[in-house]
């Protein structure tokens, strides 16, 4: 089975291990790119990969040693 290029927000949230509401918040703040197709919102799989890469490249918080 081929991996879909675009995910509905619920699928994207599941891929990241977060809730639907948190996914919509990431979309709204522009942290995760999304596209509109008609009235539907879709998230490119590559946008999730880019988001995770940005998270990994950020310095750890002040508690990190």
Residue 14 falls inside a structural domain: yes
HSE, CB side, 13 Å, CA atoms: give it for residue 15. Answer: 20
pLDDT at res. 57:
93
Residue 49 falls inside a structural domain: yes
Whether the model pTM is above 0.95: no
- By C-alpha distance, which of 46, 51, 3, 5 is closest to 27? 51
pLDDT tens digits, 3-53: 889 999 999 999 999 999 999 999 999 999 999 999 999 999 999 999 999
pLDDT at res. 65:
52
Confidence of residue 58 (pLDDT cuts 50, 70, 90): confident
DSSP code, position 63: T
The number of folded domains in the chain is 1
CA 8/CA 60 separation, integer angstroms: 30
Residue 23, domain extent: 6-57
Residue 65 falls inside a structural domain: no
């Amino acid at each position: 089975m081929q991996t879909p290029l675009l995910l509905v927000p619920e699928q994207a949230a599941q891929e990241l291990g977060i809730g639907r509401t948190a996914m919509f918040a990431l979309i709204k703040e522009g942290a995760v790119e999304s596209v509109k197709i008609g009235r539907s919102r879709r998230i490119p799989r590559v946008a999730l990969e880019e988001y995770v890469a940005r998270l990994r490249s950020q310095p750890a918080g002040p508690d990190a040693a």
